Structure 1
Amino acid sequence: MHADDSPLPGRRELKRRQTRLALITAALRLADERGADRVTVDEISAAAEVSPRTFFNYFATKEDALVGDPLEDCGTPVIPDLPLLDALLHALTPAFEQIQQDRDLWLLRMRVIAANPQLLPLLIAAAASAEQRLSAAIAARSGLAPDHPRPPVVAAVANAAVRVALIRWAGSGGSRPLIEHVREAFAILHDLKESR
């Protein structure tokens, strides 16, 4: 067991993660070299040394491999009993740490997305999925009904702050840790609450 009591992934799960990472890396490198529109699933599969059929076991389209979901491996965040902005920052920190750990891959991803604006709607859709999970966690923490407006508004604002932090981090070439950019963005949200 890890310190957080989560079980160690089995051999099959490790192999799945490695294959998925190889496909993402191949897709991003090829798109960075040629442009996203000039890369095929067959080329991505060949670069990752798997079959196109294997590619489609992981992704519906090549664009899905390029964009990804930063919170995919984090599931629904559990929001502790802290002031809300502190609680959100705490709950999302594992995702930021994972992005920081995969720094080169994420900087490449952000460069590819910046150079291929047609990918932006997919990035927004991936963020919307994460935002829904965050909204559900906020509702569960606060005991509010699922249709209450507060959780989705808070989740949307937090998501916007994270997006700005991620763009600033990538724009600086990752010279400072992502979490510092996120803390700055959340501090601005906190200041908004206090300002008149």
Structure 2
Amino acid sequence: MEATTTLRERKKEATRQALHEATLRLALERGLDAVTVDAVADEAGVSRRTFSNYFANKEDALLHGDRVRVTRLLERLRARPLTEPPWQALTEATAAHHAAIGEVDPNWLAQVRLLRRHPALLAQQTAAQNALELELAAEIAARDPGHRDEPMRSRVMAAVFLVTMRTATGLWAEQPGGASLGEAVRAGLDRAAERFA
């Protein structure tokens, strides 16, 4: 039974990924405003109903890749030793995350640029970032229980971490050909670390 469930989950994730990729492909070809859910479903070879089983709208489908990356980053953070100071754990988890990614997927870079041009996407991404901030804050607080400045310290640290990641990624995307994304993010995190030393 467990093997069947695992296979079912793999099939679901493959469908989710196919819908995400179809949405991104069409958005880059036609512009996001010209993309319809029906067109995405056709591109992915599924029904409109299947699309609706996985995503609420085309923006949700487009941002699926971000949710996957965030989940993997959180997993890496949770795997860090609990004795590691919070900012160091965040930085090392991020470094491991970028090392695992390797070369940046050109589609992801195109998505980053697309996000910057569409307020509706940015609003949805901001909502997801708010949820991530709470999860990160909980992880930070768990690494330093009883800190006198809680819950302020963990919430501020999580917010600064996310802003630093977003800023470093945005600057990197605007200036191709320089440092790798991992190096750019690490430089930003090292700069921000001065506040939490």
TM-score normalised according to structure 2 size? 0.81
Q: 1:67 to 1:99 in 2, by over 3 A?
A: farther
Whole-Å Cα distance in 2 between the matches of residues 100 and 53 of structure 1?
Answer: 35
Given candidates 172, 189, 195, the residue that maps to 1:169 is 172
For 1:25-61, what per-residue CA distance to the aligned partner results, in whole angstroms no more than 9, with x for missing partners?
1111111222222111110111111111111222111
Q: 1:48 to 1:73 in 2, by over 3 A?
A: farther
- Does the 8 A contact of 2:85 with 2:143 survive in 1? no
Whole-Å Cα distance in 2 between the matches of residues 127 and 21 of structure 1?
Answer: 20
Identify the residue that residue 86 of structure 2 maps to in structure 1: 84
Q: 1:116 to 1:84 in 2, by over 3 A?
A: same
Which blocks of at least 5 consecutive residues in structure 1 are unaligned? Answer: 1-8
Which blocks of at least 5 consecutive residues in structure 2 are unaligned? Answer: none
Q: 1:176 to 1:114 in 2, by over 3 A?
A: same
Matches within 5 A, 1:176-191: 176-191=179-194
- SS state of the match for residue 151, structure 2? coil
Identify the residue that residue 10 of structure 1 maps to in structure 2: 6
Q: 1:100 to 1:49 in 2, by over 3 A?
A: farther
Identify the residue that residue 117 of structure 2 maps to in structure 1: 115
More helix by share: 2
| Aligned-residue identity in percent | 38
Given candidates 145, 151, 166, the residue that maps to 1:148 is 151
- Does the 8 A contact of 1:135 with 1:152 survive in 2? yes
TM-score normalised according to structure 1 size? 0.81
The one-letter code of the counterpart of 2:184 is H
Q: RMSD across aligned C-alpha pairs, in angstroms? A: 2.7
Matches within 5 A, 1:123-142: 123-142=125-144
Whole-Å Cα distance in 1 between the matches of residues 27 and 50 of structure 2?
Answer: 19
TM-superposed deviation, 1:155: 0.2
Whole-Å Cα distance in 1 between the matches of residues 141 and 112 of structure 2?
Answer: 31
TM-superposed deviation, 1:118: 2.6
The one-letter code of the counterpart of 2:44 is A
Whole-Å Cα distance in 2 between the matches of residues 54 and 107 of structure 1?
Answer: 27
- SS state of the match for residue 150, structure 1? helix
TM-superposed deviation, 1:174: 7.3
Aligned residues: 186
